[in-house]
């Protein structure tokens, strides 16, 4: 099995409506996103996927989130947790990959770090 990892980041504000503690107040993070692709076979050029194409797709998926208030996005239902952000990014990439010539079946996981020590991962059901 081959694994490819690409990272990008974005900055955004949010608050968690159904959390009781300091995170229920508006605050911000410099999020780090790690995208993992996996596959058993290599394509043309001996690559699982082109790093440049994957990185561009990831950056495109993040541009709408960057410097925003994540609570303004209906998809997060006023609780934009790292878990929900990871799922959102995965879904965006799954939809965007074909138009970039990338196979969405290679998508393995999306990791969203709120801090260097706090990360949530989304992987689709197998």
**29 given a catalytic annotation:** no
Sign, CA dihedral 67-73-77-82, equals negative
**23 given a catalytic annotation:** yes
Q: Which of 23, 29, 74, 83 is catalytic?
A: 23
Q: Which of 7, 27, 67, 83 is catalytic?
A: 67
Q: Which of 14, 29, 92, 114 is catalytic?
A: 114
Assess contact for 37 and 1: CB atoms under 8 A. no
**27 given a catalytic annotation:** no
The rounded distance, in Å, linking the Cα atoms of 17 and 26 is 10
The rounded distance, in Å, linking the Cα atoms of 9 and 125 is 25
Instruction: Give catalytic residues, as residue numbers.
Output: 23, 67, 114
């Amino acid at each position: 099995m081959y694994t490819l990892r690409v990272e990008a980041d974005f900055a955004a504000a949010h608050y968690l409506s159904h959390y009781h503690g300091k995170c229920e107040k508006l605050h911000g993070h410099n999020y780090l996103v790690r995208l993992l692709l996996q596959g058993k076979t290599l394509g043309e050029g001996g690559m699982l996927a082109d790093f440049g194409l994957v990185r561009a797709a990831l950056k495109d998926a993040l541009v709408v989130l960057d410097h925003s208030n994540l609570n303004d996005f209906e998809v997060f239902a006023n609780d934009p947790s790292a878990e929900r952000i990871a799922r959102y990014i995965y879904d965006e990439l799954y939809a965007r990959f074909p138009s970039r010539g990338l196979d969405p079946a290679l998508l393995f996981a999306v990791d969203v770090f709120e801090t260097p020590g706090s990360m949530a991962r989304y992987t689709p059901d197998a």
